[in-house]
Amino acid sequence: MDRSSLLQLIQEQQLDPENTGFIGADTFTGLVHSHELPLDPAKLDMLVALAQSNERGQVCYQELVDLISSKRSSSFKRAIANGQRALPRDGLLDEPGLGVYKRFVRYVAYEILPRDVDRHWYFYRHRSCPPPVFMASVTLAQIIVFLCYGARLNKWVLQTYHPEYMKSPLVYHPGHRARAWRFLTYMFMHVGLEQLGFNALLQLMIGVPLEMVHGLLRISLLYLAGVLAGSLTVSITDMRAPVVGGSGGVYALCSAHLANVVMNWAGMRCPYKLLRMVLALVCMSSEVGRAVWLRFSPPLPASGPQPSFMAHLAGAVVGVSMGLTILRSYEERLRDQCGWWVVLLAYGTFLLFAIFWNVFAYDLLGAHIPPPP
């Protein structure tokens, strides 16, 4: 149903003869059934929720148009905040005759979203196009780059100990700070098969569902913000160390998702959530511990400092701050939220500080960095 036909039908039926801008929810629901309008069940349920948030049991015409147009608006937030919801609990679990893909969509809804109204809305309005291409493309590119360098160096673990590894134009090295692209492209390089496998698994298991729910732009922004914050943090706190791996982006995604689960613990319906939370924290902590060990106690002779672990921690901070703001804003405009602008201001301030640090601090402090390869 498009907006023009909806407006015409409302005018013909004189549902708002006094032009107040409000329509009775019961009246509109009866109109939908009598004219057999193709309105999604989730949107019809949302109309009831919106009407219940209004003391007169009416829904604003503009809110109705927002629902029909699937716009991110404050009206969706008000409907979610309303305690009296007409949506049946566990309705999605009882949906019969679903295909494989639709079952996966239902699984994603219960894994990512904390409220029944969110899950119904996502399940009924989800479309397979565009697919979640960002996380899949990044993971595929990382695997291809790793295979190319593994074949070239004839080394599949602890690749950073090979003298030719650091000569890659993708690796961030403090001696090549002027080559700004390295602050991002290091995410395509990995220490070895173990780090690549860990990152790729989390990107596909967590990143793809997040991208399906929140969209390519939001998740790519979060991932790349974590990657950039990782390399810049290393350039400030561990000035002699290089950086490789996509852990900054991976930890941004994982930390945002875990923080969102904790803050909405009662509403999350994913099975064994406590056990999975503990396992995720153990795996993430183990990876950080492994990175610390490789940085300060290298198992093999090395020609220079090994990659820093600070990118992991910086990605986690980005996830808890920026990422949590994004994940809590399902179907809402980020630009309408004060918290989003506060997070952007903080991140922008960090970027400016990091840029000035990289331009001036190394010379002023007389930092002894290893010669670039």
Question: Phi, psi at residue 27, to the nearest 5°?
Answer: -60, -45
Residue 85: predicted pLDDT: 40
Residue 82: predicted pLDDT: 46
CA–CA separation, 15 and 22 (whole Å): 9
pTM comes to: 0.80
At 314-347, the pLDDT tens digits run 999 999 999 989 888 776 778 878 889 999 999 9
Which residue, among 138, 308, 155, has the nearest Cα to 206 in the 3D structure? 138
130, 132, 137, 139: CA torsion to nearest 10? -170
CA–CA separation, 14 and 11 (whole Å): 5
Residue 145: predicted pLDDT: 95
Lookup result for tokens 């801008």 = 21
Residue 89: predicted pLDDT: 47
Quickly list DSSP for 174-222.
GGGTT-TTHHHHGGG--SSHHHHHHHHHHIIIIIHHHHHHH-HHHHHHH
Amino acid identity of residue 115, one-letter, is: R
CB atoms within 10 A of CB 331: 23
Q: Which residues of the chain have pLDDT under 70?
A: 1-95, 331
Our CA angle for 2, 107, 269, nearest 5°, is 105
Quickly list DSSP for 109-169.
HHHH--SHHHHHHHHHH--SSS--HHHHHHHHHHHHHHHHHHHHHT--SSGGGSTTGGG-T
Catalytic residue numbers? 247, 312
Handedness of CA 53, 85, 219, 245 (dihedral sign): positive
